[in-house]
């Protein structure tokens, strides 16, 4: 709960208790009480309270007779009457001060409660309160007065001490102590006075009291008028002339006074030492103080501490005559702690009577404007979803950290770049609102793992970034990364659903000397990317090699964008051979990139980047069109049954394209290839992400008349349980199994299992990466139908492929040798 909320709840509670006290007093009231003296007391209390405040000379507090009158009522008419009187007078006083309803009733309730408390306390200690006054025992009387002092001090502590002091107590211990001393003194003097008057009334009877009351009230009125006029005369020489534009004289004083009192902006007359001498209604409303409460404080109490220095500096110059007037924007403390922004214009008002110098403050409320400015400022530097600092603010902090680090030996900082693993899956499957909740949850956890001086920001999407300062080595940064991983191991409860999240973290630190904040962030990003590649839910520290790699990746990406237009890509073909008779069955189309400066670049290097950037879509389509055009031509020149086939790799990015079927159908028609001679190679992971949609997609592809094979079989997800549902023609055993098949029995068994599995499912098998005779023999023995590998031929260009077809085609019809020819490649037999 915020401080403001606590204050609000507290006030509401006090009001309810006050109301209960009033009800209890009404129930317990003795209706036989004499009405006339009671009314007289009520009148007296209201008038005296509003008109007669005794300002202590050279002090910043005043003597208010309210409590004395209530004690007097209690002693004369009993506790219930005092409680009701307290309620009535406090209400009328607060109404006059014109604050909002809660504050009005709150102020009244405090007085009611303190009066009721005193009544109950006295009743408990001494029995009938009204009879106390008759007691001639000194001890009883003194005890009664002590009780009154105690209760009134506590009540003052709550109204002035707690509410005014609560806010300032941390910074203004002295002012608060002064307030307490004041409360004690005032209560003591008040209680003694009430005791004396009660005793007097005890001797003279109530009638004298009824007559005396109006006289006292009148006296108070006169005193008050005198006091006000004195004030006006005081500033009449300077302030009144300056502000009312008139000279001396009652009329102009009166005009100035009402202009001052009812001005739309806050106005105050302040002594050169900073005491509030006179304040107007607008200022009281602005700060929610009554006139009297405000006069009990001083400038230093009300002005925000961060602004006080500048204001007093200006005042000094004003008083010295160095400035005619000054204007500042400053913060005032509202009674309940919040800040109020004002534009203050301050000028001098000399007092013609005693030559002293006063200040006239005019204060215009600019809180709304300031809040709007602050909001704008905040929005410019914060992320709207999580409320965390954004990239701009983070870079700012980082810049400062770099500057600080250059001044300090041995102490450094680290930047941790966090990316939520699988966030897209969570977002897509559970919906964006849940995704947002997760990001917020992560933001809050990150905040709790950090020390106060550190910064956590959100860079957008599912990426966060942390600045950890005051480190003595990279190992400390690593332990922060580990702490974050541990912290995130606890599930998030998102709308009743348990969600687990892991993050990949990249670390760069000031131990690699940096001058530029963007460089640090970039390197942490690179390291994060590496952490992702190495299996997610882990961290990596940036090193120079990564930087080199990262820049070359970036360069490659840029180059690849142009390579398609410039015709730097071409297709190589690697034969696929039937193992029983070594007949050529077809080719796998493999893309090649001849970079103008770097020469040949392996697809192992550029395909992953193309996948990441989306370039694989136009590239993959280009390869497909190229391969189909080529195969159509070969099919026409070298007809065979079954026709020569070409296998083309299909990337995951292509597979999830909405219009994939339409595109492939278009290419088949466009190139004229017999679709029976086209095979698309997909990987297990592509179909396992979303099995049902994948099956539907595969069926539609098959409906085009083409064939499908699963590439690198055995390395991806274990899709064995689904395999029978996929409309697949071929399994391609991954090269790694074939390579290690001759090493141990285990790998041999895997290959055997795959082959058996394929046979039971009616699929055929291609063994990839056949390099040596021994592998070939084993595969043949296991009943594997097809093979592909350097043993037969490396991938070759169109000419090379044509040579292979031609040789095997010409040989067709002659006796096919049972064994492949030894020696030079290609070792492919007739079609």
List interacting residues with ligand C2E (CB under 6 A). 574, 590-591, 602-604, 607, 620, 623, 649, 651, 711-712, 735, 769-771, 788-790, 795
Q: Which of 419, 421, 712, 785 binds Ca ion (CB under 5 A)?
A: 712
**Residue 474 contacts Ca ion per CB under 5 A:** no
Work out how close the CB of 633 gets to Ca ion at its nearest, in angstroms, rounded to a whole number: 22
> By C-beta, is 268 or 733 nearer to Ca ion?
733
Smallest gap from Cβ 596 to ligand C2E, in A, equals 20
CA distance 421 to 431: 16
CB of 389 to ligand C2E, least distance (A): 41
Least separation in angstroms between CB 735 and Ca ion: 6
Work out how close the CB of 802 gets to ligand C2E at its nearest, in angstroms, rounded to a whole number.
19
Q: Which of residues 509-548 bind Ca ion (CB under 5 A)?
A: none
In contact, 307 and 315? CB cutoff 8 Å: no
**Lookup: tokens for 798:** 């169109």
CA distance 675 to 235: 104
How far apart are the C-alpha atoms of 452 and 469, rounded to whole Å? Answer: 10
* 629 CA to centre of own chain: 56
A 10 A CB-CB count for 713 gives: 25
The residue (of 78 and 789) whose beta carbon lies closer to ligand C2E is 789
Q: CB 688 → ligand C2E: shortest distance, Å?
A: 17
CB 454, min distance to ligand C2E, A? 43
- The stretch near Ca ion (CB under 5 A) out of 276-284, 628-636, 652-660, 674-682 is 674-682
Smallest gap from Cβ 501 to ligand C2E, in A, equals 31
Partner in contact with 465, chosen from ligand C2E, Ca ion, none, beta carbon below 5 to 8 Å by kind: none
For Ca ion, which is the closer residue by CB, 315 or 627? 627
Min separation Cβ 829 and ligand C2E, Å: 18
Chosen from ligand C2E, Ca ion, none, partner binding at 73 (C-beta under 5 to 8 Å by type) = none
Stretch that binds Ca ion, among 604-612, 712-720, 738-746, 785-793 (CB under 5 A): 712-720
Helix axes 773-782, 745-760, angle to 10 degrees: 40
**What residue 517 binds from Ca ion, ligand C2E, none (CB within 5 to 8 A, per partner kind)?**
none
Is the CB of 517 or the CB of 795 nearer to ligand C2E?
795
Q: Which does 631 bind (CB under 5 to 8 A by kind): ligand C2E, Ca ion, none?
A: none
> Among residues 122, 108, 194, 116, which one has the least CA distance to residue 159?
108
Other Cβ atoms within 10 Å of 594 Cβ, number: 13
553 binds, options Ca ion, ligand C2E, none, Cβ within 5 to 8 A by partner type: none
Phi, psi of 355 (to 5 degrees): 60, 5
Binding to Ca ion (CB under 5 A) within 678-697 occurs at 681
> Please, which residue, 360 or 591, has the CB nearer to ligand C2E?
591
Provide the minimum distance between the beta carbon of 649 and Ca ion in the complex, in angstroms, as a whole number.
5
Select the span of 434-442, 448-456, 562-570, 647-655 touching Ca ion (CB under 5 A): 647-655
Which three-class secondary structure state does DSSP give residue 743? coil
CB of 810 to ligand C2E, least distance (A): 25
Q: Nearer to ligand C2E by C-beta: 546 or 577?
A: 577
Minimum gap (Å) between residue 790 Cβ and ligand C2E: 4
664 vs 770, which CB is nearer to ligand C2E? 770
CA nearest to 125, candidates 111, 106, 142:
142
Q: Based on CB atoms, which residue is closest to ligand C2E, 144 or 738?
A: 738
Least separation in angstroms between CB 714 and Ca ion: 11
Query: How far apart, in Å, are the Cα atoms of 534 and each of 530, 531, 539, 574, 681?
Result: 6, 5, 9, 31, 25
Least Å distance between CB 485 and ligand C2E?
32
Judged by beta carbon, residue 547 or residue 735, the one nearer ligand C2E is: 735
Q: Which partner in ligand C2E, Ca ion, none is near 607 (CB below 5 to 8 A by kind)?
A: ligand C2E
Our CB check for ligand C2E shows the closer of 221 and 603 to be 603
Instruction: Report the distance separating Cα 626 and Cα 649, nearest Å.
Output: 13
C-alpha to C-alpha distances, 320 to 236, 346, 355, nearest whole angstrom? 21, 14, 15
Q: Which is nearer to ligand C2E, 10 or 790 (CB)?
A: 790
Q: Which of 488, 480, 490 is nearest to 455 (CA)?
A: 480
Best CA proximity match to 507, nearest among 418, 623, 610, 377: 418
Question: Crossing angle for the helix pair 173-204 and 138-156, nearest 10 degrees?
Answer: 140
Q: Name the pairing type of β-strands 503-509 and 325-333.
A: unpaired
Cβ-count burial 274-288 (b if 16+ within 10 Å, e if not): bbbbbbbbbbbebbb
Cα 807 vs. chain centroid, distance in angstroms?
70
363, interface contact from Ca ion, ligand C2E, none, CB < 5-8 Å by kind: none
- How would DSSP label each residue in 74-138? HHHH-HHHHHHHHHHHHHHHHHHHT--HHHHHHHHHHHHHHHHHHHHHHHHHHS-STTGGG---H
720-743 per-residue burial string, b: 16 or more CB within 10 A, e: under 16 = eeebeebebbbbbbbbebbbebee
Report the residue number, 22 or 741, with the smaller CB distance to Ca ion. 741
Q: Site for Ca ion (CB under 5 A): which residue of 711, 738, 787, 828?
A: 711
**The one among 94, 509, 649, 730 contacting Ca ion by CB under 5 A:** 649
d(CA 723, CA 716): 13
Please report, as residue ranges, which positions from 96 to 125 form the binding site for Ca ion (by CB under 5 A).
Answer: none
Whose Cβ is closer to ligand C2E: residue 340's or residue 576's?
Answer: 576
d(CA 357, CA 350): 5
Which two three-digit tokens encode residue 501? 């999240």
**Residue 165: contacted member of ligand C2E, Ca ion, none (CB under 5 to 8 Å, by partner type):** none
Choices 90-98, 446-454, 579-587, 643-651 (CB under 5 A): range interacting with Ca ion: 643-651
| Beta partners for residue 766, in sequence order | 732, 786
Query: From the CB of 624, what's the least distance to ligand C2E, in Å?
Result: 8
- Measured from the CB of residue 769, what is the shortest distance to Ca ion in angstroms? 8
Question: Per CB under 5 A, which region of 121-129, 218-226, 351-359, 764-772 contacts Ca ion?
Answer: 764-772
Do residues 357 and 368 make contact, with C-beta atoms less than 8 angstroms apart?
Answer: no
For ligand C2E, the closer of residues 311 and 766 by Cβ is 766
Q: How far apart are the first and last CA of the chain?
A: 83
Q: Which of 82, 86, 77 is nearest to 130 (CA)?
A: 77
Best CA proximity match to 624, nearest among 591, 577, 584: 591
770, 739 in Cβ contact below 8 A?
no
Nearer Cβ to Ca ion, position 512 or 729? 729
Contacts of 166 (CB under 8 A, 6+ apart): 337
Closest CB to Ca ion among residues 63, 601: 601
**Binding-residue total with Ca ion (CB under 5 A):** 5
Task: Indicate which of ligand C2E, Ca ion, none lies near residue 789 (CB less than 5 to 8 Å, by partner kind).
Answer: ligand C2E
Stretch that binds Ca ion, among 190-198, 307-315, 347-355, 709-717 (CB under 5 A): 709-717
β-bridge partners, 467: 415, 455
Q: Do residues 383 and 375 touch, judged by C-beta distance below 8 A?
A: no
Q: Which does 236 bind (CB under 5 to 8 A by kind): ligand C2E, Ca ion, none?
A: none
80: which 2 tokens? 């219930």
Which one, 559 or 681, has the nearer CB to Ca ion? 681
The binding track of 50-79 with respect to Ca ion, each residue x by CB under 5 A or -, is ------------------------------
Edge to edge, what strands does the sheet with 357-365 contain?
Answer: 276-279, 266-271, 357-365, 339-350, 325-333
Which positions touch Ca ion (CB under 5 A)? Answer: 649, 681, 711-712, 768
């Amino acid at each position: 709960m915020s401080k403001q909320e606590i204050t609000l709840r507290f006030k509401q509670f006090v009001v309810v208790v006050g109301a209960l006290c009033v009800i209890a007093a009404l129930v317990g009231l003795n209706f036989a009480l004499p009405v006339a003296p009671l009314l007289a007391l009520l009148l007296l209390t209201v008038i005296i309270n509003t008109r007669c405040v005794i300002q202590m000379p050279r002090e910043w507090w005043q003597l208010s007779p309210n409590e004395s009158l209530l004690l007097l009522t209690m002693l004369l008419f009993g506790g219930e009457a005092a409680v009701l009187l307290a309620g009535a007078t406090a209400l009328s006083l607060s109404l006059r001060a014109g604050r909002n309803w809660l504050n009005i009733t709150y102020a009244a309730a405090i007085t009611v409660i303190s009066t009721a408390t005193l009544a109950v306390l006295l009743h408990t200690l001494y029995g009938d309160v009204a009879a106390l006054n008759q007691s001639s025992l000194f001890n009883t009387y003194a005890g009664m007065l002590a009780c009154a002092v105690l209760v009134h001090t506590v009540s003052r502590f709550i109204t002035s001490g707690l509410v005014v002091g609560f806010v300032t107590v941390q910074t203004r211990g002295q002012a608060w102590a002064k307030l307490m001393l004041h409360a004690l003194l005032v209560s003591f003097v008040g209680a003694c006075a009430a005791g004396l008057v009660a005793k007097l009334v005890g001797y003279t009877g109530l009638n004298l009291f009824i007559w005396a009351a109006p006289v006292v009230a009148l006296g108070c009125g006169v005193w008050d008028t005198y006091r006000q006029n004195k004030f006006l005369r005081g500033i009449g020489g300077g302030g009144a002339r300056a502000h009312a534009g008139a000279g001396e004289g009652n009329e102009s004083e009166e005009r100035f006074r009402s202009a001052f009192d009812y001005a739309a902006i806050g106005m105050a007359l302040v002594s050169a030492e900073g005491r509030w001498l006179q304040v107007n209604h607008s200022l009281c409303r602005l700060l929610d103080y009554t006139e009297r409460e405000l006069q009990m404080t001083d400038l230093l109490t009300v002005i925000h501490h961060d602004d006080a220095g500048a204001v007093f500096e200006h005042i000094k110059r004003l008083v010295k005559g160095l400035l005619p007037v000054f204007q500042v924007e400053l913060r005032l403390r509202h009674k309940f702690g919040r800040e109020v922004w004002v534009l203050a214009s301050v000028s001098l008002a000399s007092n013609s009577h005693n030559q002293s110098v006063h200040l006239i403050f005019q204060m215009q409320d600019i809180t709304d404007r300031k809040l709007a400015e602050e909001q704008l400022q905040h929005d410019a530097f914060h992320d709207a979803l999580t409320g965390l600092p954004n990239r701009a603010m983070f870079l700012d902090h980082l810049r400062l950290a770099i500057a600080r680090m250059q001044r300090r030996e041995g102490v450094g900082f680290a930047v941790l770049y966090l990316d939520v693993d699988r966030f897209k899956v969570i977002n897509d499957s559970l919906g964006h609102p849940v995704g947002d909740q997760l990001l917020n949850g992560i933001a809050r956890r990150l905040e709790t793992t950090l020390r106060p001086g550190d910064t956590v920001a959100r860079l957008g999407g599912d990426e966060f970034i942390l600045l950890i300062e005051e480190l003595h080595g990279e190992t400390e940064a690593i332990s922060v990364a580990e702490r974050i991983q541990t912290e995130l191991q606890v599930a998030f409860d998102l709308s009743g659903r348990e969600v687990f999240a892991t993050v990949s973290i990249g670390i760069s630190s000031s131990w690699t000397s940096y001058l530029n904040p963007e460089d640090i962030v970039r390197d942490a990003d690179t390291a994060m990317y590496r952490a992702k590649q190495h299996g997610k839910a882990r961290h990596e520290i940036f090193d120079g090699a990564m930087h080199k790699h990262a820049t070359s990746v970036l360069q490659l990406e840029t180059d690849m964008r142009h390579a398609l237009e410039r015709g730097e890509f071409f297709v190589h073909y690697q034969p696929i051979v039937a193992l029983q008779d070594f007949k050529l069955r077809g080719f796998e189309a493999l893309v090649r990139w001849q970079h103008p400066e770097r020469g040949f670049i392996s697809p192992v290097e550029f395909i992953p980047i193309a996948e990441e950037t989306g370039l694989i879509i136009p590239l993959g389509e280009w390869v497909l069109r190229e391969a189909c055009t080529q195969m159509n031509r070969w099919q026409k020149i070298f007809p065979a049954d079954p026709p020569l086939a070409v296998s083309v790799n299909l990337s995951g990015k292509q597979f999830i394209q909405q219009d994939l079927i339409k595109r492939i159908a278009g290419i088949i028609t466009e190139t004229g290839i017999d679709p029976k001679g086209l095979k698309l190679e997909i990987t297990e992971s592509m179909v396992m992400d979303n099995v049902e949609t994948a099956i539907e997609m595969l069926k539609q592809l098959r409906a085009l008349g083409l064939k499908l094979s699963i590439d690198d079989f055995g390395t991806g997800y274990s899709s064995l349980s689904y395999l029978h549902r996929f409309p697949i023609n071929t399994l391609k055993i991954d090269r790694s199994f074939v390579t290690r098949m001759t090493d141990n029995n285990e790998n041999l068994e895997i290959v055997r299992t795959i082959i058996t599995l394929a046979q039971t499912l009616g699929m055929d098998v291609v063994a990839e990466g056949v390099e040596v005779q021994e592998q070939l023999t084993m595969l043949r023995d296991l009943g594997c139908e097809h093979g592909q590998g350097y043993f037969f031929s490396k991938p070759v260009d169109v000419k090379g492929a044509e040579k292979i077809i031609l040789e095997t085609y010409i040989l067709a019809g002659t006796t096919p040798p049972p064994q492949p020819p030894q020696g030079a490649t290609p070792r492919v037999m007739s079609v």
